[in-house]
Amino acid sequence: MISTLLTRSLKNNLIFLTLILPTILVSQEFEINGDFEGNETDQLILTYHDLSNEFVMDTLEITDGKFQTKGIVNGVQRVYFTGKTSSESIEDPNLAMFFLGPGKIDLSLKENEFKNIKVRGSEIQSEFDSFQKKIKPLRDEINKIYKEFLLADQNKEYEKVSQLQTVLRIKNEEISDLEIEYAFRNPDSYLSSYYGNMHKRRIGSDSLKILYNNFSPRVAGNGNTQKIEDYLNIETMALGDKAPSFSSLDSNGKEIDLDSFKGRYVLLDFWAGWCKPCIKMHPELKELHKKYNSKGLEILGVSFDKDEAEWKKNISEQNLDRWPHIFVGLDNVRRKGSIPQLYNVQPIPAYILINDKGELVGRYLSASSERNDISELEKTLEEIFE
């Protein structure tokens, strides 16, 4: 029944897209006009994906407290707006996120207070803000627990850290469930397609097909729904399937071929220097490498860094040259045939374990629809090698 509905939906969408194709470029145009308050910032950077899904970094000059830009956007998407940042953290006071889509949008920004950005003219941003007010009590609770977690971590109260990690995971899953419920209840909402794409692994293929099929025609034509469709069209590998082969040059210029690792277990570590959770996981990976490398475990880093110079710098700074690394690059993550696309990996950190026969035997963190964490990986390796 689900497959029949999905097929019918795809046919309807193809007819719909054929009809609107001549006007799609016009309908995807956006215009931003903004006011800026501050003396230390000369320019702003808007980061988004264009119609070809290429990564765009648009520099906006500030003149007399005003800035503006135009462009063509790949549907409605959440974008980054940065000023004079002092770190790569998403918490930086000069970094903001908002929803950008076709049409005219007015922005108001203040130096060092980007989190208080005011957005006018964005339907999806208004909808997002309204939904955030409803879940604010739960967000406040999570923030309170997170502060306790940081304090416990600082004081090396490891048992409490572990307990609070579990509580945080459960609370964040509650928010994810509310966002998924919102997506199913609001099929004519661009925000629903955003949440559907963000949680597509958690939703599961069968339910995701139902969600996709129920989107209204206007929502079905945007970038987030296209990503859901692409995800559904990729044959998701099951445990026991042969791992897709690939070859690439490592950070030392040596060719790395996955097939050359046969006879040993390989853990693919999808990471980037800008990904703070990835960096936080590396001490545990080092311990696993130290413990099991002599018994048959190899780790292979797959980088989502922005450029190769930054990638090599991050390897050195994190002292990760004890195992090989290959560069994919942030701009190439979604490209057909890329390693992340072959393994259906996008959010990071993500780990994939391949056995000595070249078969996929485990998916962890963002690579796992079951949200298997690092402790599950440790248990698996212990069962294999101990």
Q: What is the percent of the chain with per-residue pLDDT over 70, rounded to a whole number?
A: 91
Q: Are 284 and 252 within 8 A, CB to CB? A: no
Residue 306: name the closest of 62, 99, 55, 90 by CA.
55
pLDDT confidence of 292, banded at 50, 70, 90?
very high
Of 117-126, 243-252, 365-374, least confident by mean pLDDT is 365-374
Residue 192: name the closest of 137, 128, 136 by CA.
128
Query: Could you read off the pLDDT of 12-58 as tens digits, one per residue?
Result: 343 333 333 333 333 578 999 999 999 999 999 999 888 777 788 99
pLDDT confidence of 369, banded at 50, 70, 90?
low
Which pLDDT score, from 0 to 100, does residue 183 have?
A: 96
Query: Could you read off the pLDDT of 199-238 as tens digits, one per residue?
Result: 987 887 789 999 999 999 988 877 888 888 877 876 566 7
Which pLDDT score, from 0 to 100, does residue 20 have?
A: 34
Above 50 in pLDDT, residue 241?
yes
Residue 114: name the closest of 87, 148, 77 by CA.
87
pLDDT confidence of 366, banded at 50, 70, 90?
confident
Which pLDDT score, from 0 to 100, does residue 2 have?
A: 35
CA 86 to chain centre: 22
Of 7-21, 192-206, 344-358, least confident by mean pLDDT is 7-21
Which pLDDT score, from 0 to 100, does residue 21 have?
A: 34
Tell me what the mean pLDDT of segment 267-293 comes to.
90
Tell me what the mean pLDDT of segment 251-264 comes to.
88
Of 14-18, 55-59, 309-313, 353-357, least confident by mean pLDDT is 14-18
**Cα 219 to Cα 195: distance, rounded to the nearest angstrom:** 12
Query: pLDDT: is 75 or 149 the higher one?
Result: 149
Give ∠ CA 360-364-367 in degrees, rounded to 5.
80
Does the CA dihedral 271-272-278-280 come out positive or negative?
A: positive
pLDDT confidence of 158, banded at 50, 70, 90?
confident
Which pLDDT score, from 0 to 100, does residue 301 have?
A: 93
Q: In this structure, how many other beta carbons lie within 10 angstroms of the beta carbon of residue 160?
A: 15
Taken in order of first residue, the domains within the chain and their CATH numbers are 2-21+132-233 (no CATH), 24-121 (2.60.40.1110), 247-385 (3.40.30.10)
Tell me what the mean pLDDT of segment 88-117 comes to.
91
361 burial class (0-12, 13-18, 19+ CB within 10 angstroms)? middle
**Cα 214 to Cα 184: distance, rounded to the nearest angstrom:** 8
Which pLDDT score, from 0 to 100, does residue 236 have?
A: 60
Q: Is the pTM for the entire model greater than 0.85?
A: no
Cα–Cα distances in angstroms (integers) from residue 337 to residues 230, 251, 331, 341, in the given order: 13, 20, 13, 6
pLDDT confidence of 362, banded at 50, 70, 90?
confident
pLDDT confidence of 277, banded at 50, 70, 90?
confident
Give ∠ CA 122-126-132 in degrees, rounded to 5.
140
Which pLDDT score, from 0 to 100, does residue 373 have?
A: 78
**Cα 48 to Cα 111: distance, rounded to the nearest angstrom:** 21
Above 80 in pLDDT, residue 102?
yes
